[in-house]
Amino acid sequence: MEEKKTEGQKLNELLSYETKSAWEKISEAEKEQVFNFCSQYISFLNKAKTERESADELIRLAESKGFKNFEALNGKLNPGDKVYLSNRSKTIMLAVIGEEPIDKGINAVGAHIDSPRLDLKQNPLYEDSGLGLLKTHYYGGIKKYQWTAMPLAIHGVVIKQDGTKVNIVIGEDDSDPVFCVTDLLPHLANEQMQKKMSEGITGESLNILIGNEPYKDDKVKEKVKLNLLKIINEKHGIKEKDFLTAELEVIPAIKARDVGIDRSLVGGYGQDDRVCAYAAAIAIMEMEKPKKTAICVLADKEEIGSVGNTGMKSRAFENFLAELVEVTGEYSALKVSRALRSSRMLSADVNAAVDPTYDGVMEKRNAAFMGKGVCVTKYTGAGGKYQANDAHAEFLGEVCQLLDKENIVWQIGELGKVDQGGGGTIAGYLANLGMDVVDCGVALLSMHAPFEIASKVDIYMAYRAYLAFLK
């Protein structure tokens, strides 16, 4: 027989807020869905390791679900129609037209598909001490020491002098060569090890090793470099000058995979923010005919401040909305501003989960934990909420009530202790347009490292949250 609850226990249940692992809250059937969803997600991570590849892969998926290229359309759109717009193959926007006119407001989810990495400099190739090397300039916030002594791949595009574009992916196939940034042996690292961690490896020391064999001709000065140029030219039709007009990204040559004996976690490069981007994209691809138009924005350049015409500070989103107003009725600037004023958005980006090895940086009553569900973050920012979006309680209430109603396990999460540091997302730039925005995403361990960790149940809850919100 079950023991009878005391008055205090009953009152405690009624009044107190306690969190529980999402794993304990889901059924066996839902657990199976969690694992299935995440195995699809892992194959996505392995196909889409850069912003361009993510845009390509998600467009391919969207087309298979009936989304049409907005730029190839002519004529009007009707409720239930599905379109996508690619902004320079780096940012994509997906929309499902709703029954209500767009000036009544839309529901949107926005994530980003760029991740921290090493970009090749414009004139990267050089030879020193019998080695062929490439100069890099890192992109986004990295801990430089994490990028040494590990296998790296090169992805990107080269625009040749005749205007043709060459796609490059080297280091992903098991038969491909890989590259690396070398590090100093401990035996000779006395001086290096005395330095601050931020100075032990400098930006200019992140050079990529790509070869060692000289071209056999004593009349040539840089023989290793020439031999590399010869191979690159034979394989890809590229000359040294073509690097000047290239975008080549150096990223970890490691595969995303299950982590843990219980396989409860996903490890992989670029989960910030492809984890939310994938969950949001899959959610909108499942929409049929919503009441309000649903939009999913997957942006570039978040890691360097959302700048440029593919970043969220640009007017690309606003312009797309204007286009949608026109093709679902008749354009007017007033309709666009009314749409923005009455729209709601989830800024789908990752947060930091409590890491017991480094829990001193977190304030545990307000931090996110692995496995406790999708993380809702009222404000990001740093040093007194500086530059935070700080969502309104009214909107926060609306979102959290929806999550409860749909049985979606969620938690709150503030990024670290007050005055410990901080960060930002795209939330503020969309709120600037007049929309209600709140951050809602997956908490990670080792964020921005070459191998980031997410809990499978959190990924699945994020997907369910985005789907419920868009509906």
Least distance (Å) between residue 168 CB and Mn ion: 24
C-alpha dihedral, 135 to 186 to 143 to 360, nearest 10°: 180
Least distance (Å) between residue 207 CB and Mn ion: 24
* Cβ neighbours around 194 below 10 Å, total: 9
Nearer to Mn ion among residue 53 and residue 349 (C-beta): 349
Least distance (Å) between residue 211 CB and Mn ion: 32
Nearer to Mn ion among residue 81 and residue 452 (C-beta): 452
Least distance (Å) between residue 442 CB and Mn ion: 10
Interaction with Mn ion in 325-354: which residues (CB under 5 A)? 349
246 SS3 class: strand
Amino acid at the residue 217 = D
Angle at alpha carbon of residue 449, lines to 448 and 453, rounded to 5°: 90
114 scored as a contact of Mn ion (CB under 5 A)? no
As a whole number of Å, the CA-based R_g of the chain is 24
Nearer to Mn ion among residue 323 and residue 349 (C-beta): 349
Nearer to Mn ion among residue 112 and residue 223 (C-beta): 112
Amino acid at the residue 327 = V
Nearer to Mn ion among residue 242 and residue 273 (C-beta): 273
Interaction with Mn ion in 380-419: which residues (CB under 5 A)? none
User: What H or E segment, with its residue span, contains residue 31?
Assistant: helix 28-47
Nearer to Mn ion among residue 273 and residue 300 (C-beta): 273
User: Beta strands 374-377 and 152-159: pairing type?
Assistant: unpaired
Nearer to Mn ion among residue 103 and residue 273 (C-beta): 273
Instruction: Count interface residues toward Mn ion (CB under 5 A).
Output: 3
Amino acid at the residue 160 = K
| Nearest-CB residue for Mn ion | 273
Least distance (Å) between residue 103 CB and Mn ion: 31
Nearer to Mn ion among residue 127 and residue 272 (C-beta): 272
Which tokens go with 331?
Answer: 């354009």
144 SS3 class: helix
Least distance (Å) between residue 237 CB and Mn ion: 35
Dihedral sign, Cα of residue 109, residue 57, residue 74, residue 308: positive
Interaction with Mn ion in 141-200: which residues (CB under 5 A)? none
Phi, psi of 89 (to 5 degrees): 60, 20
Interaction with Mn ion in 349-378: which residues (CB under 5 A)? 349
Interaction with Mn ion in 216-275: which residues (CB under 5 A)? 272-273
| Cα–Cα separations (whole angstroms), residue 427 to 235, 237, 312 | 43, 42, 9
Least distance (Å) between residue 441 CB and Mn ion: 8
Least distance (Å) between residue 142 CB and Mn ion: 10
Nearer to Mn ion among residue 81 and residue 273 (C-beta): 273
Peptide bond connecting 128 to the previous residue in cis, omega within 30 degrees of 0: no
Phi, psi of 373 (to 5 degrees): 100, 180
Phi-psi region of 322 (alpha: psi -120 to 50; beta: other; left: phi over 0): alpha
Least distance (Å) between residue 389 CB and Mn ion: 14
Name the site residues for Mn ion (rule: CB under 5 A).
Answer: 272-273, 349
